[in-house]
Amino acid sequence: MEHYLYFAEGGGADATTEAVCYAASRFVGVEPITATTTGIYFESPVGDVDGGGGGGDLITVTHADTHATASSYHRAKLIAEAMVEAVNQGPHATGKMTSIIDVDNGVYFGGITSIISDASFGIVVSLDS
């Protein structure tokens, strides 16, 4: 049985791209996009991320610019650590769903809880088409 990861933008999860749920096995990776955005990538059900016709699905997380702050680092590190922890949860997670960023219900996984107070914090779901 697969483990699933849930994301919701905060729009009520009642329209396309306001919420998504991915099998943990479809997680591709995390990368900083700009100083204030980080991308979380998943294999798309309609394309792929290896040049075979699709760009994958993207969760863009907006956050504070902390990469140049002394004793700090880009928020991408906290987001990547949370994603790795969620994807690699033990056997107790099999067949379960983990909310990673659920703005609608105020649920955040792992270290992501430490960045939700950023004034610009939010997510945008972009689906491959």
Alpha-carbon radius of gyration of the chain? 14
Identify the residue whose tokens are 């792992």: 110
Chain segment 31-61, per-residue pLDDT in tens:
999 999 999 999 887 765 555 555 689 999 9
Residues 119 and 83 sit within 8 Å (Cβ to Cβ): no
Max distance between CA atoms of the chain, in angstroms, equals 44
Q: How confident is the model at residue 92 (pLDDT cuts 50, 70, 90)?
A: low
Q: What residues contact 55, with CB distance under 8 A and at least 6 apart?
A: 44, 47, 49, 128
Query: Whole-model pTM?
Result: 0.86
Residues 33 and 27 sit within 8 Å (Cβ to Cβ): no
Q: What is the mean pLDDT of residues 14-36?
A: 91
Q: How confident is the model at residue 96 (pLDDT cuts 50, 70, 90)?
A: confident
- What pLDDT is attached to residue 41? 94
Phi, psi (deg, nearest 5) at residue 98: -115, 125
* Average pLDDT value over all residues in the chain: 86
